[in-house]
Amino acid sequence: MSESEKYSQGYTIEAQDGDFLEAMEAAVDYRGDTTIEVKDGKVWDGYLFNYDEGEKALQVYPKDDPSIVAIPVTDVVKVSFTGKDTASGKSWEAWAKKKGEEREKIKAQEVDEDE
Amino acid sequence: MGVPVSQMYTVVSYILGQRLRGNKHYPLVLMLEPLFRCNLSCAGCGKIQYPGHILKRQLSYEECMSAVEECGAPIVSIPGGEPLLHPEMPKIVEGLVERKKYIYLCTNAILLKKKMDEYKPSKYLTFSIHMDGLEEDHDEAVCRDGIYQRAVEAIAIAVKRGYRVTSNTTLFQGANPERTRLFFDEMAKLGVEGMMLSPGYSYSKAPDQESFLPRKETYELFREILFRPKKSWKFNHSPLFLEYLAGTRHFECTPWGNPTYNIFGWQKPCYLLQKGYTKTFKELIETTKWEEYGQKSKNPECANCMVHSGHEATAVDYTFGSLSGFLSTIRGTILGPKITNPKNDNIPALLEAAK
Ligand code: SF4
């Protein structure tokens, strides 16, 4: 299984798991929202975009909050990839293929009309 | 070259000042990304793939001004997202003009005709219009029909009203040199002040992984495009950067030359890669492991990267850092960049980089 298949929507990792640090890196890279549970039972739902090395904290934009929240990494209990990965989806090739087909269709119609 | 003398003077005196102070990691162009929201969804773009609540966020006027002051670069490029969607953009531009910054406001021009009057023509303000080729090529690159025509109309109006206007072109794999040359003719006819060029970069987040140009193909493509340039073409680049694109010479990346600031903070290490964020510009400069980036570092993410935002600052620094750089720039400015005949198999930059 590739990294991007492994760390996709629905994936959950707990702090005591062996590959927790690797999963944290993937979570920072993930272009969807994550849900982070911390020790005091609080749950943060939002976009995790950075690991602040100096403060040893995850930086998150909570869904309904204008400001950045810093969560000490030692407080994290569980992280889930809950939001849709916005980076996967429509490709340029699909668009180019669609355009090519449209052009072919127009050309074929022009030939038909000429005949 | 299409850049006005006052801008050249500002940049030259800034660079000489930095060099006199012995500052190696100085910024030349601040890439100020005030928002990621866009009214297009181009397949090659890795900038807009974020959850909805992130796309709704934007930097405030105050945040933009403090980033500009903190960084100190004489040029501010405002990409995005689509900057014209930012409700405070006219005020941000005004603030930058007051601070005597040369601004490149990058736009797909969909809203330009409608919003143009919100901006005063100024020697400090340039509308940098995203144009990826002739009509068919551009509309295909931006994944929507009719956008080229709208951009052409907006450019014509802006030029007529006295705004500074440049085109800004990213060339992807499969770009046709002949059609690109015809596209340059069209831009010259429209009267743009200069044209900006960059090869595309394979963002790890971009949905289209295949259509970016590996290095050798990039050199070949740009040699074909730039060999025997027409007199009417004006580029908004150092002639040495054009020589770099065409493989006449090699430059390493200087990612600190174009630092990026957005809603996440100061982006490490460059406009393209996202290896973390810092709260201050000073922290960005002091904590980024610069040696881990650029072709020399053997970082696979940098192996084929030749983008403008990583390498033009190197070309400019070379101009003022050595006599040969200075003389080459003068020669290139007067006689045009040295571009080897595409039929010649030798690509000097490949040999130089391998040393
Ligand atoms: S070569 Fe420079 S601009 Fe390109 S990805 Fe690497 S650091 Fe960024």
Q: How many residues does chain B have?
A: 355
Is this complex scored with an ipTM above 0.90?
no
Is pLDDT larger for residue B268 or for residue A92? B268
For residue B205, give how far its alpha carbon lies from the nearest alpha carbon of chain A (Å): 6
* Chain-chain contact of A61 with B57 (C-beta, under 8 angstroms): yes
| Residue whose CA is at the smallest distance from ligand 1 atom 8 | B270
- B229 touches B338 (CB < 8 A): no
Write B205-208 long-range contacts (CB < 8 A, 24+): B205/A31, B205/A87, B205/B46, B205/B49, B206/A87, B206/B43, B206/B44, B206/B45, B206/B46, B207/A87, B207/A88, B207/A89, B207/A90, B207/A91, B207/A92, B207/B43, B207/B46, B207/B49, B208/A91, B208/A92, B208/A93, B208/B43, B208/B44
For residue A4, give how far its alpha carbon lies from the nearest alpha carbon of chain B (Å): 11
Is A20 an interface residue toward B (CB < 8 Å)? no
Is pLDDT larger for residue A91 or for residue B101? B101
Phi first, then psi, for residue B173 (nearest 5°) are -55, 140
Instruction: Name the CA dihedral angle for B225, B47, B273, B165, rounded to a multiple of 10 degrees.
Output: 40
Query: What residue in B sits closest to A59 (Cα-Cα)?
Result: B264
CB contacts of A98 in chain B (<8 Å) are none
Q: How far apart are CA B146 and CA B156, in angstroms?
A: 16
> Which burial class, exposed, middle or buried, applies to B137 when counting CB atoms under 10 A from its CB (0-12, 13-18, 19+)?
buried
Look up the CATH number of domain A3-84. 2.30.30.100
Please tell me the distance between residue A80's alpha carbon and the centre of ligand 1 in angstroms: 31
The per-residue pLDDT for B43 is 72
Q: How far apart are CA B270 and CA B260, in angstroms?
A: 6
Q: How far apart are CA B353 and CA B219, in angstroms?
A: 13
Hey, of A28, A29, A48, A49, which one would you mutate to test binding to chain B, going by the most B CBs within 10 A of its CB?
A: A49
Which residues of chain B carry a pLDDT beneath 50?
1, 203-204
* Chain-chain contact of A66 with B57 (C-beta, under 8 angstroms): yes
pTM attached to this predicted model: 0.91
Nearest CB to A91: which of B43, B141, B264?
A: B43
The per-residue pLDDT for A114 is 62
The angle formed by the CA atoms of residues B217, B219 and B222, to the nearest 5 degrees, is 105
Is B176 an interface residue toward A (CB < 8 Å)? no
Tell me if B302 CB under 6 Å of ligand 1.
yes
Share the mean pLDDT of chain A. 86
* Chain-chain contact of A89 with B207 (C-beta, under 8 angstroms): yes
Query: What residue in A sits closest to B212 (Cα-Cα)?
Result: A92
- Residue A105: is its pLDDT beyond 90? no
The per-residue pLDDT for B300 is 87
Domain ranges of chain A: 3-84, 86-115
Report all structural domains of chain B as residue ranges with CATH numbers, in order of start: 5-353 (3.20.20.70)
C-alpha to C-alpha distances, A105 to A112, B145, B288, nearest whole angstrom:
11, 17, 52
Please tell me the distance between residue B300's alpha carbon and the centre of ligand 1 in angstroms: 10
For residue B284, give how far its alpha carbon lies from the nearest alpha carbon of chain A (Å): 12
